[in-house]
Amino acid sequence: MPPSEVHVQVTHSMPPQKIEIFKSLEDWAENNILTYLKPVEKCWQPQDFLPDPASDGFHEQVKELRERAKEIPDDYFVVLVGDMITEEALPTYQTMLNTLDGVRDETGASLTPWAIWTRAWTAEENRHGDLLNKYLYLSGRVDMRQIEKTIQYLIGSGMDPRTENNPYLGFIYTSFQERATFISHGNTARLAKEHGDIKLAQICGNIASDEKRHETAYTKIVEKLFEIDPDGIVLAFADMMRKKISMPAHLMYDGQDDNLFDNFSAVAQRLGVYTARDYADILEFLVNKWKVTELTGLSADGRKAQDYVCGLPPRIRRLEERAQGRAKEAPRVPFSWIFDREVQL
The answer on pLDDT for 5 being more than 90 is no
227 in a known ligand binding site: no
> Is residue 7 assigned to a domain?
no
- The pLDDT score that the predictor gives to residue 151 is 99
20 is catalytic: no
| Helix H or strand E segment including 326 | helix 300-326
Q: Which residue in the list 121, 188, 214, 337 is annotated as catalytic?
A: 214
Residue 232 has pLDDT above 90, yes or no: yes
What pLDDT score was predicted for residue 2?
A: 81
Q: Do residues 132 and 80 make contact, with C-beta atoms less than 8 angstroms apart?
A: yes
pLDDT tens figures, 259-308:
999 999 999 999 999 999 999 999 999 999 999 999 999 999 999 999 99
Q: Output the CA–CA distances (angstroms, integers) from residue 136 to 11, 62, 66, 139, in the order listed.
A: 38, 11, 10, 5
**Coil, helix or strand at residue 93:** helix
179 has pLDDT over 80? yes
26 is an active site residue: no
Residue range(s) defining the domain that contains residue 264: 37-344
- Stretch 57-62: mean pLDDT: 98
Distance, CA of 33 to CA of 29 (rounded, Å): 5
pLDDT (tens digit per residue) in 77-136? 999 999 999 999 999 999 999 999 999 999 999 999 999 999 999 999 999 999 999 999
Average pLDDT over residues 144-150: 99
pLDDT at position 176 is 98
What CATH number corresponds to the domain at position 58? 1.10.620.20
Could you confirm whether 44 is annotated as catalytic?
yes
| pLDDT, position 244 | 94
**Over 80: is that where the pLDDT of 4 sits?**
no
d(CA 309, CA 313): 8
Catalytic position from the list 181, 188, 219, 275: 181
Mean pLDDT for the stretch of residues 1-28: 90
Catalytic residue among 211, 239, 254, 257: 211
Whether 217 has a pLDDT exceeding 80, the answer reads yes
Q: Is 292 inside a domain boundary? A: yes
CA angle, residues 255, 328, 81, in degrees to nearest 5? 35
* Phi, psi for residue 334 in degrees, rounded to 5: -80, 145
Beta bridge partners of 333: 343
232: Cα separation from own chain's centroid: 25
Count of domains forming the chain: 1
Alpha carbon distance, N-terminus to C-terminus of the chain: 23
The one catalytic residue in 5, 28, 30, 44 is: 44
Q: Is the pTM of this model over 0.85?
A: yes
* Sign of the CA dihedral with 113 first, then 123, 42, and 221 last: positive
How far is it, in rounded angstroms, from Cα 231 to Cα 296?
9
125 known member of a binding site: yes
Strands (E), the chain: 332-335, 341-344
Apex CA 94: angle with CA 91 and CA 97, to 5°?
150
178 is known to lie in a ligand binding site? yes
Residue 1 lies in a domain: no
* 301 assigned to some structural domain: yes
Confidence of residue 214 (pLDDT cuts 50, 70, 90): very high
Active-site residue (options: 75, 83, 87, 278) = 87
Q: Is residue 11 part of a domain?
A: no
Q: Answer yes or no: is pLDDT of 6 > 80.
A: no
Which of 161, 240, 228, 216 has its CA nearest to residue 23? 228
Per-residue pLDDT tens for 159-171? 999 999 999 999 9
The strand pairing partners of 344, in sequence order, are 332
pLDDT at 61: 98
Identify whether 7 is a catalytic site residue. no
* pLDDT of the residue at 128: 99
Task: Answer yes or no: is 118 within a domain.
Answer: yes
Q: What is the per-residue pLDDT for 328?
A: 79
Q: What is the mean pLDDT of the chain?
A: 97
What digits encode the pLDDT tens for the residues 182-195?
Answer: 999 999 999 999 99
Q: How confident is the model at residue 60 (pLDDT cuts 50, 70, 90)?
A: very high
pLDDT of residue 343: 98
Neighbours of 265 (CB within 10 A): 22
Give yes or no for residue 327 having a pLDDT over 80: no
Has residue 30 been placed in a domain? no
From 75, 105, 210, 257, active-site residue: 210
Q: Which of 130, 160, 178, 197 is catalytic?
A: 178
Q: Is 181 a catalytic residue?
A: yes
Considering the domain boundaries, does residue 325 fall inside one? yes
Q: Is 214 annotated as a binding residue?
A: yes
